[in-house]
């Protein structure tokens, strides 16, 4: 789906700079925020347009340490004022586009979640079959020797430690990724929904493997 029509991104960038100078990355983030995270332009999309705006005398660049700030010139402010009605119409069109994009994302996520739940359900079914086989095998434990019982318990403890290690590693990796995204203010609601769905399905599949 095309988000901006011809010349619309140019006008929208000017409107974003109307509140004050911004870095290129800040403009990308501001656009992403306006679309609720459903659309995020690439640097290859934004910077060439900023360069074009500078060539037109609508934007000027200034160095800010290692970064570059972009600001509207007087001509840029006049350009924006001359297209006020067009900008208002653009805002309305973008609001409709955001709703369409959000609907698509929800549909895609629902489909992916359904597929994930099916995969987890299949894994759980297989796990239950393995657990049932293990339970049948364990029926002979009543007559096992003390040495065999100790060995079985030692193996069980080792497996529990392995599982706990895997869980700790998983938690640490996800937590690090979340904190990195949070530092940029980019943890979407979709992440929360995904975690809840995946963990609920995983919990069911894992507990199904444990004898009761």
Q: What is the CATH number of the domain that holds 78?
A: 1.10.10.10
pLDDT recorded at residue 121: 55
In a domain, 91, yes or no: no
Encode 174-193: b = buried (16+ Cβ within 10 Å), e = exposed.
eeeeeeeeeeeeebeeeeee
Question: Are residue 134 and residue 204 in the same domain, yes or no?
Answer: yes
Question: Are residue 76 and residue 168 in the same domain, yes or no?
Answer: no
In a domain, 3, yes or no: no
End-of-domain residue from the set 57, 82, 107: 82
pLDDT recorded at residue 133: 63
pLDDT recorded at residue 24: 92
Question: Are residue 12 and residue 102 in the same domain, yes or no?
Answer: no
Question: Are residue 142 and residue 201 in the same domain, yes or no?
Answer: yes
Q: What are the 10-residue block averages of pLDDT along the chain, 212 residues in total?
A: 77 92 92 78 91 95 87 94 88 79 70 62 60 59 73 84 83 84 82 75 70 64
Rounded CA gap, 182 and 21, in Å? Answer: 24
Structural domain that includes position 14 = 8-82
49 sits in which H/E element: helix 43-55
Question: Are residue 29 and residue 71 in the same domain, yes or no?
Answer: yes
Question: Are residue 72 and residue 107 in the same domain, yes or no?
Answer: no
Rounded CA gap, 61 and 147, in Å? Answer: 78
Question: Are residue 176 and residue 115 in the same domain, yes or no?
Answer: yes
In a domain, 56, yes or no: yes
End-of-domain residue from the set 20, 47, 82: 82
pLDDT recorded at residue 77: 94
pLDDT recorded at residue 158: 83
Phi/psi of residue 208, each to 5°? -65, -25
Question: Are residue 107 and residue 180 in the same domain, yes or no?
Answer: yes
End-of-domain residue from the set 82, 106, 139: 82
Question: Are residue 187 and residue 124 in the same domain, yes or no?
Answer: yes
Q: By the 8 A CB rule, do 17 and 72 touch?
A: yes
Q: How many domains does the chain have?
A: 2
pLDDT recorded at residue 60: 95
pLDDT recorded at residue 165: 82
């Amino acid at each position: 789906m095309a988000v901006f029509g011809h010349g619309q991104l140019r006008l929208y960038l000017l409107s974003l700079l109307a509140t004050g100078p911004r870095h290129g990355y800040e403009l990308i983030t501001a656009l992403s925020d306006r679309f609720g995270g459903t659309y995020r332009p690439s640097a290859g999309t934004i910077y060439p347009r900023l360069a074009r705006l500078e060539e037109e005398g609508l934007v000027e660049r200034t160095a800010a340490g290692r970064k570059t700030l972009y600001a509207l010139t007087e001509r840029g402010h006049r350009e924006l004022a001359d297209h006020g009605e067009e900008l208002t119409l653009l805002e309305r069109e973008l609001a409709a586009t955001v709703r369409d994009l959000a609907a698509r994302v929800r549909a895609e996520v629902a489909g992916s979640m359904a597929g994930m739940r099916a995969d987890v359900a299949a894994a759980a079914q297989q796990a239950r079959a393995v657990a049932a086989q293990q339970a049948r095998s364990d029926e002979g434990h009543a007559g096992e020797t003390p040495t065999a019982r100790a060995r079985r318990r030692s193996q069980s403890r080792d497996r529990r430690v392995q599982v706990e290690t895997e869980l700790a590693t998983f938690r640490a990796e996800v937590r690090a990724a979340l904190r990195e995204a949070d530092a940029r203010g980019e943890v979407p609601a979709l992440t929360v929904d995904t975690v809840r769905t995946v963990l609920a399905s995983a919990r069911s599949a894992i507990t199904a493997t444990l004898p009761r």
